[in-house]
Amino acid sequence: MNKPAVSTIIILICLAIIGLYAMGEVNYFSAKVVVEKAITVDSPKIIIPSIGVNEKINNQSLNQGVLSDPGENVPTKNPVILYGHRTLQGSPFLRLNELNIGDTFLLEWPGIGELNYTVTSTETVPAENELNAIGKNTVYLITCDPIGSTENRIIIQGELVSKNPLNTKIIKDNPQESYAILISAIFLIVGLVFSFFYPKDNRIYILITVIIISAVLFCCCINPIPSEMIYDKIIFLNGGM
């Protein structure tokens, strides 16, 4: 077997880096499935059809998806503040910047009901600005800006316009349940195709690397670890953000 060329070594490093990010996302989606199946109490959910958001809300960690902070606040009784990552770990608020005044979103909240909101304000402020959250019928959606940076915050303010009975079918639905398997399969298929067209003298190195990383990804689908354990180790690749 020929020694790997310099270009092959560079590609192997790139594959390893891509694999680490894929592993972070696979563990994120897999862990969410495990947690949701383990709990008996349904979590609240935020749905923003115009930007493809359909996410469970938790009061534990931003690394688990959309975070309600403080967690004891509930709509129609307190102002609710919801935070979400814009990149990685599911990127639930990736497209939050696309919301405009007059757009709508809803919360499915056990014990409260289905709550429909209209966007009344959008702004981008420095990260150090403090939010003055007021109004028991107000929800604030917050994420970082620009993408990949924590320099600023996008703040979307929504006001309650109507309240309906809870849709339990929506609460139980998890459209992201197959994402971990899908990410793993895409990495394997693309990697195999790439290795097939790679020069024969170094093809074996690419093939072995793709198979090993794919095997790890599929294992993570079954036995996930906290995604932050991976991202904390590679945060330097994002410039420390």
For 51-83, how does the pLDDT look when each residue is reduced to its tens digit (9 = 90+)?
999 998 988 888 888 999 888 899 999 999 999
Count the residues in the chain. 241
Looking at the structure, give the CATH architecture of the domain made up of residues 41-172.
Beta Barrel (2.40)
* Among candidate residues 61, 166, 160, the one with its CA nearest the CA of residue 118: 160
Cα separations (Å) of 227 from 33, 91, 134, 235? 13, 13, 33, 12
Domain residues of the chain, as ranges? 17-33+177-238, 41-172
| Residue 71 to residue 175: CA distance in whole angstroms | 24
- At 47, is the pLDDT very low, low, confident or very high (cuts 50, 70, 90)? very high
* pTM recorded for the entire structure: 0.83
What integer pLDDT is reported at residue 23 of this predicted model? 94
Q: How confident is the model at residue 237 (pLDDT cuts 50, 70, 90)?
A: low
Q: What is the mean pLDDT of the chain?
A: 89
DSSP string, 170-210: HHH--TTTTHHHHHHHHHHHHHHHHHHHS-HHHHHHHHHHH
| Residue 39, both tokens | 């709990």
Confidence grade of residue 120 (pLDDT, cut at 50, 70, 90)? very high
pLDDT given at position 95: 94
pLDDT tens sequence across 158-187: 999 999 998 877 777 778 889 999 999 999
What pLDDT, on a 0 to 100 scale, did the predictor assign at position 213? 96
> What is the C-alpha separation between 150 and 159, in angstroms, rounded?
26
For residue 172, the model assigns a pLDDT of 77
